[in-house]
Structures are given as C-alpha cells and as structure tokens.
Homo-oligomer: A and B are copies of this chain.
Amino acid sequence: MQLGLIGLGKMGFNMRERLRRHDIDVVGYDPRPEVTDVPSLEALAEALPAPRIVWVMVPSGPITRQTIENLAGVLSPGDLVIDGGNSRFTDDGPNAELLDAKGIGYVDAGVSGGVWGLDNGYGLMVGGNDADVERALPIFDALRPEGDRADGFVHAGPVGAGHYAKMVHNGIEYGLMHAYAEGYELLAAENLITDVTGVVRAWTKGTVVRSWLLDLLVKALQEDPDFKDISGFTQDSGEGRWTVEEAIRHSVPAPVISAALFARFASRQTDSPAMKAVSALRNQFGGHAVQRAPNTEGTGA
C-alpha cells in the first residue's frame, strides 16, 4: 500500500519510519530538503498512483487549512485525505466540504503517543464515513499498537469525531498530569518522606495509580531528582482550552480539567494581576499606615 505523508516534523518523521517498517510505501513531503522525499506537493501527487491516500501531519490551524486547500488543487476525485494533526474538531467539517467539492474524501484522525509511538504504536481515533475509514485501515493498522485493533484504534463517528475524541483525550491528559503533579509536590513538601522518587517508583506496579504517565514521571525524576533543571513554565497546545470550551457548551462540569488548564496559564505569569488585586484589597482594609505592633495585635478583617 502507498501513502503520501505531508509534514515530517517531530511526529510525521517517526510515523513515516513506523509505516515503512510495516511495509507501507510512504512518499513524504516536507519543505525541509534534508527530510523530504519529493520537492513539492505536485511531485507527491505524481509519485502516487490514483486513487491516493494522503496523510496531513502539520500544525493545526491556518497551516493545516492551507495544506488542505493546496491538496484540493493537486489531488483527483476518488482520492482520500486524512488530517492527523491536532486540529480543532470544528475545522473538520469545512475541510471535508472543501475536499468533497472536488470528489475527494476526508477522514480526521487523532493521534496519540508522542515520540514513543515509533516503537509502541500510536493510539488512533478517527472520524469519517465507513467507506473512507475502511479504505485507510491498513494505514491505521500499521500505525496503531500491536494486538487487538480495538485497543488502540476507534472509528469514533462521522467527520470531526476523531479530533473530538483526541481533544477529550488531551483534556483528560491535563487532569491526569496535574493530579500526579499535586501529589508529587505534596510528597516533596513532607519531611517524613525521605525518598520521593522511590515512592513514585513504588507506585508503578500493583497500585491503583499505575499508568504510563507515572512511568514517565519516574523516568523524569530519575534523570533530575527535585527537577532542578526544569522550569514550571508550561505551554498549552489548544486541546485543553477546547475541552473546557466544549464542557461549557455541553453544560458539563469540568473542575479538574479546567484547574489543570488554569495552572498552566498561571505558570506563565511572572506575577498574577489577580493576586495583585487581592493584595491591594488586603492593604486597603488592613491599613498599612497604622504601625504594626509585633506580637500584640489581633487582626480583625
């Protein structure tokens, strides 16, 4: 089977490798000459016999949209495009429509696994019509983990469902990471605990909290106990925000996922405007003009 793969960055590069290991004949395109297989989208289209399947693995938003538009210009009716990036699910409908006008099919695929996917396989959540998804199954089978297909792949629903499922996956991911993070901080704050890394490692087998993320936390602590070389400044890539937005749209309480998201926002502030306001209010009613008497004052605010 052949596949066009657009975007050979952190994810796409590894995916090309995994697909090739599984005997998929991948033609990759990337603007960087040192990694690309062909010089242009046109060349990619030419290199693949119709009907083609082309996987798009570029940053979500305008770049994905532009790529879809470019593909609409070089592909043929009967071809199929899969957007495997972290697009917002609301982008999928317009992308599918644009391609459908040219007779080109569309599937959205949420892909999880990070750099470990090359060897472990990628968890896949896809949206689209049955025929399109069926047609791309060999690609999905090559990318997903070994074993039962349903343990690492789902046809979650129509176009948009794949990215929706991936969005929720990432929202959960925010919550999971922050739960471990709060626990870590508490362990590190308590003098009784003389071996924080040891405690976290001891959780990796047999316990209720064992998980892949926990394994990674152990690895991270073993590489850098006390996280001396790591800043708490943490980006967010969009899915956490979208998850909370969807929770609001569906009237679903999401205190855990939103707390994790807000903690990332706060991590990027050198000082909190909100806390300045709180501090200013305390000054107002606490009265700094009045001299404080050491050890003899009550506070009555």
Contact = CB atoms under 8 A, between A and B. Distances in A.
Given A180-B172, A220-B280, A10 B290 contact: yes
A132 interface: no
B202 A151 contact: yes
B192 A274 contact: no
Nearest to A120: B206
B175 A179 contact: yes
Nearest to A35: B293
Most B-side CB within 10 Å, residue of A122, A277, A292: A277
Interface string A216-260: 110111001001001111100100010111111011111111111
Contacts of A262: 253-255, 258
Interface string A191-222: 01111001101111111111111101101110
Interface in A117-144: 117, 120-125, 127, 144
A188 B150 contact: no
A297 B12 CA distance: 7
Contacts of A105: none
B298 A224 contact: no
A212 B208 contact: yes
Contact of A171 (B85, B178, B182): B182
Contact of A59 (B204, B254, B258, B295): B295
Nearest to A234: B279
Number of identical protomers: 4
A259 B256 contact: yes
A183 interface: yes
Contacts of A84: 298, 300
A300 B12 CA distance: 9
Interface in A277-301: 277-287, 289-293, 295-301
Given A120-B206, A153-B202, A276-B227, A283 B220 contact: yes
A80 interface: no
A8 interface: yes
Contact of A193 (B35, B161, B247, B257): B161
Given A123-B203, A194-B157, A195-B156, A252 B185 contact: yes
Contact of A246 (B178, B186, B227): B186
B298 A206 contact: no
Contacts of A203: 112, 123, 169
Given A175-B182, A182-B254, A216-B284, 6 more contacts: A9-B293, A112-B203, A113-B301, A152-B206, A164-B192, A168-B199
22 contacts: A10-B298, A12-B297, A58-B297, A63-B296, A84-B298, A114-B287, A120-B206, A122-B300, A155-B195, A157-B194, A164-B192, A165-B193, A171-B183, A172-B209, A174-B179, A183-B257, A217-B281, A230-B279, A233-B279, A237-B299, A244-B244, A259-B259
